[in-house]
Structure 1
Amino acid sequence: MTTAIIKPQWSPLTIALMVMGFIIFWPLGLAVLGYILWGEKFGGSPEKAQAYWNKGKAWCSSNAPRHHRNHWNRSSGMSSSGNAAFDDYRAEQLKRLDEERARLDAEIDAFHEYMANLNKAKDREEFDRFMNERRGSRQGYDQNKPDNGDNNNGWGSNNA
């Protein structure tokens, strides 16, 4: 018997908490849904939860298809298939694919560099246009400014 305030079952309270969780922050609603569905299996103790996790993990690894388990081993260690000709062919094809991958990566890097240079040139052009327009407007302002002969620029008198 569990003494939890919110029991892992479908009740109006847990449904309301789940809906509110989804509205506020969707992972919170997902966590409440997981608690409703699987809360009893965990039993509320970390030991039971770890045991349940280990049991599920062992079931997945024992029921995985043989070719998937071998594929994971081959990708890291390149075990032999039992046929020398096929192993040579496979090694040659993998080497060719690695070379092709390296060539494509170099092309991607070259394209990114090209785009960066293009964007830099575009930015430079826009900045130069802005500065030219700004200089033009400042020159027009300087030309229209009346010069009344005093050099104090309107900041009061310069009497010493």
Structure 2
Amino acid sequence: MNTIASTNRSWFARSEAWLDERGKGAWIAAMVLGFIFVWPVGLALLAYMIWSKRMFSAPCTSRRRFSSPQAFKSSGNSAFDSYKADMLKRLEDEQQAFEAFLERLREAKDKSEFDAFMNERADTAKKTRSDEG
């Protein structure tokens, strides 16, 4: 009988760990599927989620893993960290320069379009005056 109980516990522990790895959404999906297929299972999952405070806990751990950018963590190698910091600074400067270039390009395009519009308007006004006079 101990083997059956330990097998059931290990199955439950494995499924609990699997759902925990996938976060709160997986628990909610399992609960909804439980309600759809066998409503007592859904009810049991809901009760377990409330009792274990999974329903009201912080966001899932998988999202917390990616919250801090890897670019700013130290690798332990000071030469590489210095190189990485210099490269990131260069890339940021290059990005800012490119964005400034794009802004100047947009302004030049807008100016040329506006100048073309004003020239066309002036030509129309000249034709109207010459037709009147």
Structure 1 length-normalised TM: 0.44
Shift of 1:122: 0.3
1:102 matched residue in structure 2: 96
Shift of 1:57: 3.8
Aligned-pair identity in percent equals 23
Matched, 1:124 2:131: no
Q: Distance in 1 between matches of 2:97 and 2:55?
A: 44
Which AA in structure 2 matches 1:103? A
Sort the Cα spacing of 1:75 and 1:54 in 2 relative to 1 into closer, same or farther, 3 A: farther
Higher percent of residues as helix: 2
Q: Distance in 2 between matches of 1:129 and 1:103?
A: 39
RMSD: 3.5
Q: Which of 46, 59, 74 is matched with 2:69 structurally?
A: 74
- 1:82-121 per-position Cα deviation (integer Å, ceiling 9, x unaligned): 2212211110110110111111011111101111110111
1:136 matched residue in structure 2: 130
Q: What aligned pairs does 1:17-36 form with structure 2 within 5 A after superposition?
A: none
Shift of 1:56: 9.6
- 1:8-44 per-position Cα deviation (integer Å, ceiling 9, x unaligned): xxxxxxxxxxxxxxxxxxxxxxxxxxxxxx5968x9x
Which AA in structure 2 matches 1:132? K
- 1:120-152 per-position Cα deviation (integer Å, ceiling 9, x unaligned): 11011110111012112222xxxxxxxxxxxxx
Sort the Cα spacing of 1:135 and 1:75 in 2 relative to 1 into closer, same or farther, 3 A: farther
* Higher RCO (CA-CA < 8 Å; seq separation 6+): 2
Structure whose alpha-carbon radius of gyration is higher:
1
**5+ unaligned residues in a row in structure 2: which ranges?**
1-31, 37-42, 44-49
Sort the Cα spacing of 1:53 and 1:125 in 2 relative to 1 into closer, same or farther, 3 A: farther
How many residues align? The count is 88
Q: Distance in 1 between matches of 2:87 and 2:125?
A: 57
Q: Which of 84, 109, 119 is matched with 1:90 structurally?
A: 84
Which AA in structure 1 matches 2:126? N
Q: Distance in 2 between matches of 1:120 and 1:102?
A: 27
Q: Distance in 1 between matches of 2:79 and 2:56?
A: 41
